[in-house]
């Protein structure tokens, strides 16, 4: 991933340079105090120390730009998630959200909500509501697809094909790039994947959604969970399905449990 020097400096309020300036200021003023001289060189040292101190204060001021609290941000998509889940339920859609590789639909990464259980199916045509003897359901864009594309274009996000590097990529995106969790872990057990976001700043919004119904997260995952799925699909070159999303209040933790869809028969016609 490519992050500019400016972004790397601003992200997280890097205090290395201000701290260095404060240290130099203290050193210069300390020298003047110890020497106890009132000559011109001492005056120059005092002036230099004051300049370093004021420069450090100025840098901290610019680094401390106020932004929207991420707890507020976590509530932004709650109503859309709940509403979309209700629409799917009213349409008789009971199958958990599946994120499909572009080859499955002949287009881009897509979200597929089948009526019941997922069955490999050849998608065709430009449709959202699909009714077929083999499979019925709703085909939409994943909530995190736009964010995923933005990270690829703006930050040079590259999703590796190696599984170990893929999981490291998920950790880096969650902890360093988006800074949405204190700790992000991902691992695979057989055909199942588990991604854990501990100490996440988005917990409040997730809890609000699950208070409505835990099924909401399984039917219509939010942009962040969807982003994680998009990364998994891109790295694995296989579709994945949400099995369960669990919350743990004591650790402000979100656990995403996925299963890998069958690789065969994922290639289809054009969407």
Query: Largest Cα–Cα distance of the chain, in whole Å?
Result: 95
Residue 116, pLDDT score? 84
Residue 16 falls inside a structural domain = yes
Which residue shows structure tokens 């669990």?
246
Residue 30 falls inside a structural domain = yes
33 and 129, same domain (yes or no):
no
267, pLDDT greater than 50 = no
8 A C-beta contact, residue 181 and residue 200: yes
Q: Across the strands, what pairs with 111? A: 99, 140
Rounded to whole angstroms, how far apart are CA atoms 150 and 177? Answer: 12
Residue 271 falls inside a structural domain = no
143 and 194, same domain (yes or no):
yes
Residue 170 falls inside a structural domain = yes
19 and 97, same domain (yes or no):
no
Rounded to whole angstroms, how far apart are CA atoms 163 and 161? Answer: 6
The neighbour count for residue 208, using CB atoms within 10 Å, is: 16
9 and 89, same domain (yes or no):
no
Residue 265 falls inside a structural domain = no
138 and 225, same domain (yes or no):
yes
97 and 220, same domain (yes or no):
yes
Tokens of residue 63, six digits: 């680094």
How many separate domains does the chain show? 2
pLDDT range class, residue 68, cuts 50, 70, 90: low
269, pLDDT greater than 50 = no
Sign of CA dihedral 260, 264, 265, 267: positive
198 and 236, same domain (yes or no):
yes
101 and 59, same domain (yes or no):
no
Residue 214 falls inside a structural domain = yes
111 and 225, same domain (yes or no):
yes
8 A C-beta contact, residue 21 and residue 52: yes
8 A C-beta contact, residue 96 and residue 241: yes
For 29, the domain range is 5-63
**Model confidence over 171-203: pLDDT tens digits?**
999 999 988 999 999 999 999 999 999 999 889
**Model confidence over 110-149: pLDDT tens digits?**
999 998 888 777 776 667 888 876 678 888 889 999 999 9
Q: Which residues contact 262 (CB under 8 A, 6 or more apart)?
A: 120
87 and 219, same domain (yes or no):
yes
191 and 131, same domain (yes or no):
yes
Residue 268 falls inside a structural domain = no
**Final residue before a domain boundary, out of 63, 85, 105:** 63
| Residue ranges in the chain assigned as alpha helix (H) | 5-10, 16-35, 40-63, 70-73, 78-90, 102-105, 145-154, 163-172, 203-212, 215-219, 223-236
**Model confidence over 17-28: pLDDT tens digits?**
777 777 877 887
Where is average pLDDT lowest: 134-148, 190-204, 214-228, 236-250?
134-148
Rounded to whole angstroms, how far apart are CA atoms 135 and 120? Answer: 9
Residue 240 falls inside a structural domain = yes
């Amino acid at each position: 991933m490519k992050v500019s020097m400016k972004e790397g400096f601003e992200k997280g309020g890097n205090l290395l340079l201000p701290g260095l300036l404060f240290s130099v200021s203290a050193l210069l003023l300390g020298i003047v105090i110890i020497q106890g001289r009132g000559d011109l060189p001492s005056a120059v040292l005092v002036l230099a120390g004051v300049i370093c101190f004021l420069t450090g204060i100025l840098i901290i001021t610019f680094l401390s730009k106020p932004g929207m609290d991420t707890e507020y941000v976590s509530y932004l998509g709650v109503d859309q998630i709940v509403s979309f889940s209700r629409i799917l339920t009213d349409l008789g859609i009971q199958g958990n959200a599946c994120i499909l590789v572009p080859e499955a639909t002949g287009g881009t990464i897509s979200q597929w909500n089948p009526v019941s259980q997922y069955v490999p199916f050849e998608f065709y045509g430009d449709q959202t509501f699909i009714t077929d003897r083999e499979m019925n359901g709703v085909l939409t864009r994943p909530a995190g697809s736009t964010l995923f594309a933005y990270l690829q274009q703006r930050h040079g996000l590259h999703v590796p094909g190696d599984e170990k590097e893929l999981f490291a990529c998920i950790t880096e995106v969650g902890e360093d790039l988006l800074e949405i969790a204190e700790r992000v872990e991902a691992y695979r057990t057989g055909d199942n994947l588990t991604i854990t976001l501990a100490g996440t700043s988005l917990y409040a919004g997730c809890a609000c959604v699950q208070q409505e119904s835990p099924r909401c997260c399984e039917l219509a995952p939010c942009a962040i969970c969807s982003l994680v799925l998009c990364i998994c699909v891109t790295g694995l070159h296989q579709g994945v399905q949400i099995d369960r999303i669990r919350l743990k209040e004591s650790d402000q933790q979100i656990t995403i449990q996925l299963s890998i869809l069958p690789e065969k028969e994922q290639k289809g016609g054009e969407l």
